[in-house]
Amino acid sequence: VTSLKETLQEVIPAKQEQLKKLKAEHSQSVVGDIKVENIIGGMRGLKAMLWDASVLDPNEGIRFHGLSIPDCQKVLPPAPGGKEIIAESMLWLLLTGQVPSEAQTRQLSREFAEKGDLPPFLEKLVDSWAWAVAALNHESLFQAAYEKGIKKSEYWTYTLDDCINLIARLPALAARIYRNVYKPGTALPPLNKDLDLIGNYSALLGFGDNHNLTEYLRLYIALHGDHEGGNASAHTAHLVGSTLSDPYLSYSAALFALAGPLHGLANQEVLRWQMAMQAELGTEVTHDQIKEYLWKTLKGGQVVPGYGHGVLRNPDPRFIALQEFCDARPELLESSMIQLVKKTYEVAPGVLKEHGKTKNPFPNVDATSGCVLHHYGLTEFKYYTVIFGVSRALGALTQLVWARALGLPLERPKSLSLDAIEKLVK
Ligand code: CMX
């Protein structure tokens, strides 16, 4: 019996080829206009996503790889002794574009059953950052009011209450996670009513008398607060929020997006990468050695972390602001790591330009942010994304309040299959 994975191994190359051809021949073809109604209307109807598995026709409804629901009911194997379509055969169709045999469906069912027990590490999720934020939805005022029945014009006030409560709790929540993981058995001190949010956060982390770090955290968190709506974390919160999911659930979803190495995880990746560079080259490093190291990274098929951006085409002003923070402090200027970051900045854009792939050879904020945290004693770099998560709440939750205040609709761009795009551009 050909397994699901083997089947995918067979079908993926053709799709990859189709995409490559489309990109090579039609990258500049226009497939539609963007109207104001798309932007304020949750991207309704806007053809802006690639999605191959299903197409939704307004009149005839959904088709899965061209098969209508009655078609699926005819051809997709049911459970033994059953008649209805089952998840396994549907998943097989969605993933591969092919109808599975009965034997293939059974094999997949067995695989699910064999892998379905919960692993012990799951218990640790109780102390997971994103789950903890989601669990706070237990107290969502918006959700409670919505269940009771409120007018649409009142949505934003309850949303705002939730957002404020959430932001207020983020320091304690994020600090608890830090302590549980890195300083087990230590209790959180009480919040100081006279301190700012991040001053308290620093104290809860155990760095209350580390003024330099507290100041840096203040700047870092303010600067990372918002970065337009389309970045992965903000967009995720907005998308989930557009279903009228409460702010806790919406923001927890954003935290999962933030956890990716191309997004919020990048600052810890930078530190890891710069440390490896330092371990290999030592502290007295020349520009040429750094260049060589950059090429080694690129030739190894890896991205240079902290460089490039989905939108920016110049050095990130947040990077510049953090560099200026460093420049104003002798202890940072003397740090060999901060010096290495600076030297890397002096040569990396040239190397990346020569490499010729990235549209933006300049540093983004992550190129330096984690290195300063490390210098000031917050050395557990797996934790850095959590700090980013405390920060991004500011922008993402602002937008949730406004989305409710403006009565913005469910987000729903139009997706197209590869075949449909080819038809439009021919
Ligand atoms: N090093 C090497 N190659 C890079 C690169 C980098 N820093 N940045 C982009 N590229 C490559 C891409 O991988 C892509 O290659 P393929 O065509 O082989 O897929 C090509 O250049 C074109 O990419 P792009 O259009 O310039 O960049 P994207 O909008 O696709 O991606 C980003 C943007 C940030 C994901 C990418 O630049 C990257 O991976 N950077 C390193 C990770 C990083 O610093 N992320 C933090 C971003 C800021 C944040 O979200 O917080």
**Domain of 307: which CATH number?**
1.10.230.10
Task: Give the model's pLDDT for residue 208.
Answer: 94
- Express each pLDDT in 289-335 by its tens digit: 999 999 999 999 999 999 999 889 998 998 999 999 999 999 999 99
Our answer to whether residue 316 is catalytic in this structure is no
Tens digits of per-residue pLDDT, 172-194? Answer: 999 999 998 899 888 889 999 99
Instruction: Pick the catalytic residue from 226, 366, 374, 375.
Output: 366
Task: Please enumerate in sequence order all residues whose Cβ is within 8 A of that of 46, keeping only pairs 6 or more positions apart, or say none.
Answer: 32, 34, 38, 413, 414
Judge if the beta carbon of residue 310 lies within 6 A of ligand 1.
Answer: yes
Work out which ligand 1 atom sits closest to the CA atom of 367: 44
- Say if ligand 1 is within 6 A of residue 329 CB: no
Q: Is the pLDDT of residue 255 over 90?
A: yes
Pocket test for ligand 1, best of 226, 227, 262 (most atoms within 8 A of CB): 262
Report the Cα–Cα distance between both ends of the chain, in Å, rounded.
39
Among protein residues, the one with the nearest Cα to ligand 1's atom 16 is: 357
Distance 309 CA to ligand 1 centre (A): 6
Ligand 1 atom closest to 264 (CA): 51
Does 68 score more than 70 pLDDT?
A: yes
Q: Which range (113-122, 199-208, 306-315, 386-395) has the least confidence?
A: 113-122
Shared domain for 244 and 378, answered yes or no, is yes
Closest among 226, 245, 140, 218 to 376, alpha carbons compared: 218
Tell me which of 77, 98, 117 is where a domain ends.
Answer: 117
Q: Is the pLDDT of residue 119 over 80?
A: no
Average pLDDT value for residue range 354-375: 95
Q: Write out the residue range of the structural domain in which residue 26 sits.
A: 4-117
Which of 91, 117, 143 marks a domain boundary? 117
Residues 275 and 192 in one domain: yes
The reply to whether ligand 1 has any atom less than 6 angstroms from the CB of 304 is: yes
Q: Is the predicted pLDDT of residue 120 greater than 80, yes or no? A: no
**Mean of the per-residue pLDDT values of the chain:** 93
Q: What is the pLDDT of residue 126?
A: 60
| pLDDT at res. 116 | 82
Confidence of residue 283 (pLDDT cuts 50, 70, 90): confident
Q: Which of 117, 132, 160 is the last residue of a domain?
A: 117
Tally of structural domains, the chain: 2
Note whether ipTM > 0.95 here.
Answer: yes
Cα–Cα–Cα angle for 289, 292, 295, rounded to 5 degrees: 155
Same domain? 156 vs 102: no
pLDDT at position 104 = 98
Q: What is the pLDDT of residues 2-25, one digit of tens each?
A: 999 999 999 999 999 999 999 999
Looking at the structure, tell me whether residues 90 and 128 fall in a common domain. Answer: no
Q: Provide the pLDDT confidence category of residue 42 given band limits of 50, 70 and 90.
A: confident
Lowest mean pLDDT across 38-47, 145-154, 288-297, 327-336: 38-47
Q: Calculate the alpha carbon distances from 199 to 257, 264, 352, 375 in Å.
A: 26, 22, 38, 18
Which tens digit of pLDDT belongs to each residue from 260-275?
A: 988 888 888 999 999 9
Q: Same structural domain for residues 97 and 226?
A: no
Whichever domain contains 72, its CATH number is: 1.10.580.10
**85 & 131 share domain:** no
Note whether 222 and 331 are same-domain residues.
yes
Task: Tell me what pLDDT residue 207 has.
Answer: 97
Query: Cβ(234)–Cβ(228) under 8 Å?
Result: yes
Residue 48 DSSP one-character state: E
96 and 139 housed in the same domain: no
196 has catalytic annotation: no
Number of the ligand 1 atom closest to the C-alpha atom of 316:
48
374 is catalytic: no
Ligand 1 atom with least separation from CA of 359:
26
Residue 177 and residue 46 share a domain: no
List helix spans (H) across 183-265. Answer: 197-205, 211-223, 232-241, 247-258
Candidate from 258, 357, 369 with most ligand 1 atoms within 8 A of CB, to mutate: 357
Let me know whether 132 and 153 are in one domain.
yes
Listed residue (233, 173, 217) closest to 392, CA to CA = 233
Residue of higher predicted confidence among 117 and 425 = 425
- Minimal-distance CA residue to ligand 1 atom 50: 263
Cβ-contact 258, 385 below 8 angstroms? yes
32 with 142, same domain: the answer is no
The response to whether residue 306 sits with its C-beta less than 6 Å from ligand 1 reads yes
- pLDDT given at position 267: 86
Q: Which of 244, 217, 254, 12 is nearest to 143 (CA)?
A: 244
Mean pLDDT to the nearest integer, 275-288: 94
Q: Is 12 in the same domain as 107?
A: yes
State the pLDDT at residue 41: 87
- Annotated catalytic residue within 65, 224, 238, 263: 263
- pLDDT the model gives residue 305: 94
